[in-house]
Amino acid sequence: MLELTSITKRFPNGTLALKGVDLTVEPRTVHGIVGANGAGKSTLFKIVAGALDPTTGEIRWKGEPVDWSSPAAPLAAGISTIYQHIPLVPTLSVLENVFLNDYRGLFARGRLLKRYREVIDRVQYDLDPDLRVSELSIGQRQMVAIMHALAHGAELVIMDEPTASLAQAERELVFDTVRRLRDRDDVTFIYCSHFLDEVLSLTDTITVLRDGLVVADEPTAQLTEDRLVDAMVGKNLASLESLRQHEGREDALPLLEVQGLDSPGRISDVSFTVHGGEIVGLAGLLGSGRSEILHAIFGSDRAARGRVVLQGRELGRSARAAVRSGIALVPEERMRQGLVPDWEIWRNTSLPDLTALLSAHVVPSRAKEVERAERAIRDLRIVARSVDAPVSSLSGGNAQKVVFAKWLYGDPAIFLLDEPTVGVDVETKVEILELIRRFAREGKGAIVVSSEFEEILAVAHRVLVISRGRIVAERRAIETSEEELLALASGLGAKEDVA
Amino acid sequence: MSAATPTRAPGFRARFGAVNTEAFRLHNAGVVYALFVLVITLVISTAVTGRPPYLSAINTANVLDQTTQVGILAVFMTIVLISGNFDLSIGATGALAAGVTLMTLNHAPVWVAVLAGLGIGTLVGLVNGLLVQIVGINAFIVTLGALTAVRGVLLILTNGESIVTSKTGLNSLVDGPAPLNLRWASVAVGIVVVAVGLYMITRTRDLQRPFDLGAAGAVLAGLALVIVGFAAFPTHWPLTKQVWVLFAVTLVSWLVLSYTAVGRRLYAVGGNTEAARLSGIDIARYKTVPFVLNGFAAAVVGILYAGRFEAINPNALSGIELTVLAAAILGGTSLFGGSGSVVKTVVGALILFVLANGFNILNLGANYQPLIQGVVIVGAAAIYVVAGRRASSQKIRSVETHDVPSSPDEIERPSVGAPTR
């Protein structure tokens, strides 16, 4: 049906996202694709969907080589992609969304309704065509996206993380629909998910990607959870492993106590303690609520309820109060949440701690600010033209170091680190992990969120596994393994140890 | 200590640029060049056609006086725009403040009337700010509503009729001549500028920072000001008191925005609200206060207006908000927040009024004026967008070719303690 041969993709900034991927999708199957963050899944889907051009390699669709230069071409050929954040128009009705981009001339409601009935028959799921999409649940939106694909004559539907935020019943609905369409309607699916239990139960074939390469490609029946996890994890960052630290810190005083933190629809009943000099890892998959826990602690989630006690004092529920009491947050999306992109390094690094850099109480001292930025460039080995370089011109790793530098010199008590090494090269990654360890040696605390579990194991003393907004397990880093964490976070066999 | 080192370069970002040619680039200083070209054109045309010299003391003072109301409003509009918001209600608010001031004046002393006017303007601003920030309604909608509703309040208060006062206290307070001895003033300012420029040059050398072209420019400009001022400037420049209000407002806002923590945080909030919030900045305050200031400024302009004419008709100051926005846009203020300079905004306002004044002086049909103004505004925006895009792509390119020293800066201090890529 779809054949990819030695697809590579090199981005303009030099990143090699795909290093020669071969993939064959058989007709009338559900083909699962799994891989850790950064394995190249999204890039692969974008290439198939025509949103990106491959650097080298060949795509064959129904045996014919194709050259798709725009997303319209694969759509016309019968390939439809449903992205994670489904691009429906929330202000339009279900009917209008299903036939979006399909009004020939006038919006002929009667004719479209007839076609809508046909689509409903195919998916066996009835939905009022006049409801507005904004009124639908996430699962219903998924169904609308599937119907949209079918209405446009899709023979291959690519689903990228379709169930990241679905409730159990809605998942079953989507799965049943996928199976029915495969069996009765000759539709082929490519299905990508972080939840390995889902992939194992739904798919016929599974391809595992790791670091831009296919490391396994087998019928699902021959695969086990363990083999899948092994293939995904690999042992590619041995350098991190060697840094793994083992000293426990259980005697230290509680630094941060989180009690009964709850935020509707995001996290529920999260309680834990971080001790002085301790690094706690939050291991969870995308959408598990791990970042949301950090934002709830930091007070930037206004809906969150619960107690956060830092060094014996209960915190007010605002980011401002958190910063003042000594909590630092390195957010996940550094350009959107961590930096003012147009600003120079020195103006970014002084932002949270401006009051300490004033002369005459109101005027920020440029000399002190520049000095601090220069110190950060030295301390963190930031590669930049000068402190005057705008942060938008820095590479990912260097921009991330600037975000760290914002907090480094204000002497915070605890660091909340959300994916601190995402999009950062290996060398910088090691440096950042060493920096986090330094915080702990200085008696500070740190909470590290990462979807790369080997990284959590390399840096954390204790690991809390997060799944669907809850802490589902607690492990000491030396007593667990990446495989176990991945299994727990993927919802496999996690029932015995609920923290 | 070091931060209070003003240069004559108007750009906010530019003042802090690395090798300071940045300040003179088109996307930063374009509005200044535009004013320059416009004035030169008018000087030449008036000379060629045998009219009175364009840069006469009377005419320049006249243009400044005409610019005052829009200029003051534009300074505060720039602050609102920097914070990432928008305010359409200023014309109506100013008129209401003027009305309230005059009505109070007929029954009370001047200072009570002025306070009443300022109070009502500030109140409108506060309501706008709270509706936008606390309730969360879009600023455009809130202030569009306020524009209409506030004008309605004025109509109710005045019963649709003009308010006149016979008391002269307000007029003598806010209007009347306040001439400047421009010759000696320019010599004094020039000396200060030269001193500051020299100080900056020695400082940048002490700090081993790249040579600051802006500082050098300041020295030269200061010298030029001393010489030209002494040789050619009049001793009697017939400014009005109102112009001094514009000067004061501009100077104070510029200092606060550029050199204080408050200003820095305001730019941060407008530039990236989320990052500012996660850095512990009180977003609500920095989004609300600009509205309050803007209401206050509208009241100030309303009172200046009422003081000058000693009367106000209920439709006064209608539509001024659009001229004010035009001035801010000409000055390169971003409508998306995070960047803008009050000095450049005032230059933008000057362009609009120099243009109008030029049409009058050259006796070109006033009918052509709106067309030209419209073209100038869109043209300015186009220049900012295109020049800005080119500048940022150059920036990226110079970063990509990182291992080739692309600036003196890099030759001085190659790769700060880290391996080059």
Residues of chain B with C-beta less than 8 angstroms from the C-beta of A406: 279
Structural tokens at position A44: 């692969």
Buried b (16+ CB within 10 A) or exposed e, B263-293: bbbbbbbbbbbebbbbbbbbbbbbbbbbbbb
Give which of B285, B328, B246 is closest to B79, Cα–Cα: B328
Cβ-contact B169, B114 below 8 angstroms: no
Closest alpha carbon within chain A to B272: A340
- Smallest CA-to-CA distance from B13 within B302, B172, B214 is with B214
Q: What percent of chain A has pLDDT over 70?
A: 89
Taking CB atoms and an 8 Å cutoff, what residues of chain A touch B1? Answer: 359-360, 365, 367
Q: What is the DSSP letter of A96?
A: H
Q: Please report the sign of the dihedral spanned by the C-alpha atoms of residue B266, residue B268, residue B271, residue B276.
A: negative
Q: How many angstroms separate the CA of residue A347 from the nearest CA in chain B?
A: 9
Residues of A in contact with B267 (CB under 8 A): 340
What chain A residue is nearest to B394 in terms of C-alpha separation? A393
What local confidence, expressed as pLDDT, does residue A13 receive?
61
Query: What tens digit of pLDDT does each residue of B19-43 get?
Result: 456 667 777 778 888 899 999 999 9
Cβ of A319 within 8 Å of Cβ of B396? The answer is no
- Report the residue of chain A nearest B15, measured CA to CA: A388
Give dist(CA B5, CA A401) in Å, integer. 30
- CB B19 within 8 Å of CB A381: no
With CB atoms and an 8 Å threshold, state whether A362 touches B18: no
C-alpha–C-alpha distance, residues A298 and A329, integer Å: 7
From the list A329, A354, A385, which residue is nearest B265 (CB)? A354
pLDDT in tens, A438-466: 888 888 899 999 877 888 888 888 999 99
Element housing A347 (H / E): helix A345-349
Q: What is residue A384's predicted lDDT score, i.e. its pLDDT?
A: 82
Highest mean pLDDT among A138-147, A180-189, B210-219: A180-189
Alpha-carbon torsion A242, A248, A252, A258, what sign?
positive
pLDDT higher for A36 or B172? B172
Asked if A344 and B16 come within 8 Å (Cβ–Cβ), the reply is: yes
Distance of alpha carbon A437 from alpha carbon A446, whole angstroms = 9
Return the closest-CA partner of residue A383 out of A438, A339, A424. A424
Q: Say what the pLDDT of residue B392 is.
A: 60
Spatial distance between the Cα atoms of A290 and A467, rounded to a whole number of angstroms? 8
Nearest to A385 among B265, B272, B410 (CB): B410
| Cα A299–chain centre separation | 21
Contact: A377, B16; criterion CB under 8 Å: no
Q: ipTM of the predicted structure?
A: 0.75
Best CA proximity match to B331, nearest among B61, B154, B77, B41: B77
Tell if the CB–CB gap between A324 and B421 is shorter than 8 Å.
no
Mutation test of the interface with chain A: which of B21, B278, B389, choosing the one with the most A Cβ atoms within 10 A? B278
Q: Which of B231, B294, B392 is nearest to B74 (CA)?
A: B294
Which DSSP symbol is given to A332? Answer: S
Q: Beta strands A188-192 and A156-160: pairing type?
A: parallel
CB contact under 8 A, B278 and A377: no
Shortest CA distance from A398: residue in chain B:
B418
pLDDT tens for each residue of A316-346 = 888 888 998 899 999 988 888 889 988 889 9
Alpha helix locations (H) across A153-289?
168-185, 196-202, 225-233, 238-242
| pLDDT grade for A31, boundaries at 50, 70 and 90 | very high
Whether residue B279 and residue A362 make contact (CB cut-off 8 A), yes or no, is no
User: For A385, which residue in chain B has the nearest alpha carbon?
Assistant: B410
Q: Find the residue in B nearest to A352 (Cα).
A: B279
Phi/psi region, residue B417 (left: phi>0; alpha: psi -120 to 50; beta: rest), is left
Pick from A340, A360, A383: CB nearest B272: A340
The answer to whether residue A167 scores a pLDDT higher than 70 is no
Residues of A in contact with B280 (CB under 8 A): 319-320, 322-324, 352
Residues in chain B closer than 8 A to A300 (CB atoms): 277-278
Q: How far is A444 from chain B (nearest CA, A)?
A: 19
Please judge whether A382 and B13 are an interchain contact, meaning their C-beta atoms are less than 8 angstroms apart. Answer: no
Cβ pair B421:A377 closer than 8 A: no
pLDDT at B316: 92
Which of A191, A223, A89, A188 shows the shortest CA–CA distance to A492? A223
Top-confidence range, A145-149, A175-179, B126-130:
B126-130
Residue B278 and residue A343: Cβ atoms within 8 Å? no
The partner residue sitting opposite B272, judged by closest CB among A339, A359, A384, is A339
Which residues of chain A are within 8 Å of residue B265 when distances are taken between CB atoms? 351, 354
* Whether B279 and A352 lie within 8 Å, measured CB to CB: yes
Q: What value, to the nearest 5°, has the Cα angle with vertex A145 and ends A144 and A146?
A: 90
Answer whether B407 sits within 8 Å of A300, measured CB to CB: no
Residue A309 one-letter amino acid: V
Q: How far A441 CA lies from chain B's nearest CA (Å)?
A: 24
- State how far Cα B362 lies from the chain centre: 27
Contact B170, B303 (CB under 8 A): yes
C-alpha–C-alpha distance, residues A54 and B384, integer Å: 35
Q: Which chain A residue has the Cα nearest residue B388?
A: A342
Residue B218, min C-alpha distance to chain A (Å): 19
What does the pLDDT look like over A370-427, one tens digit per residue? 888 999 988 888 888 888 888 887 877 888 889 999 998 888 899 999 988 876 766 7
Q: Are the Cβ atoms of B396 and A393 closer than 8 angstroms?
A: yes
Q: What is the DSSP pairing of strand A79-82 with strand A156-160?
A: parallel
Task: Indicate which of B22, B83, B202, B272 best probes the interface with A, i.e. most A CBs within 10 Å of its own CB.
Answer: B272
The mean per-residue pLDDT over the stretch A116-139 comes to: 84
Percent of chain A with pLDDT over 90: 12
Shortest CB distance from A386 goes to which of B1, B264, B409? B409
Chain B interface mutation, best of A363, A415, A431, highest count of B Cβ atoms under 10 Å: A363
CB pairs under 8 A between A and B: 133
Total-model pTM: 0.77
pLDDT in tens, A211-236: 788 888 889 888 887 788 778 776 54
User: Residue B183 in contact with residue B234, Cβ under 8 Å?
Assistant: yes
From the first residue on, what is the mean pLDDT of each consecutive set of 10 residues in chain B (421 residues)? 41 44 71 89 89 88 95 97 94 96 93 96 97 93 95 94 89 88 89 89 72 79 88 88 95 92 92 90 94 97 94 92 93 89 94 90 83 87 79 51 36 32 29
Quote the CA–CA distance of B359 and B351 in Å, as a whole number: 12
Residue of B nearest to A370 (CA): B207
Which of B4, B281, B418 lies at the smallest CB-CB distance from A381? B418
Considering only CB atoms, A341 lies closest to which of B259, B272, B407, namely B272
pLDDT for B23 equals 66
Are B275 and A338 a contacting pair at CB < 8 A? yes
User: Is B280's CB within 8 Å of A320's CB?
Assistant: yes
Burial environment of residue A249 by CB neighbours within 10 A (0 to 12, 13 to 18, 19 or more): middle
A40 touches A21 (CB < 8 A): yes
> What confidence score (pLDDT) does residue B394 get?
55
**pLDDT tens per residue across span A57-110:** 888 988 888 887 777 888 888 888 887 666 678 888 888 888 877 666 566 778
Q: Do B418 and A347 touch (CB under 8 A)?
A: no
Going across the sheet that includes A205-210, the strands are: A79-82, A156-160, A188-192, A30-34, A205-210, A213-219
Tokens of A439: 């915080």
3-state secondary structure chain B: CCCCCCCCCCCHHHHCCCCCCHHHCHHHHHHHHHHHHHHHHHHHHHHHCCCCCCCCHHHHHHHHHHHHHHHHHHHHHHHHHHCCCCCCCHHHHHHHHHHHHHHHHCCCCHHHHHHHHHHHHHHHHHHHHHHHHHHCCCHHHHHHHHHHHHHHHHHHHHCCCCEECCCCHHHHHHCCECCECHHHHHHHHHHHHHHHHHHHHHHHHHCCCCCCHHHHHHHHHHHHHHHHHHHHCCCCECCEHHHHHHHHHHHHHHHHHHHCHHHHHHHHHHHCHHHHHHCCCCHHHHHHHHHHHHHHHHHHHHHHHHHHHCEECCCCCCCHHHHHHHHHHHCCCCCCCCCCCHHHHHHHHHHHHHHHHHHHHCCCCHHHHHHHHHHHHHHHHHHHHHHHHHHHHHHHHHHHCCCCCCCHHHHHCCCCCCCCC
The reply to whether residue B338 touches residue A342, judged by beta carbons under 8 angstroms, is yes
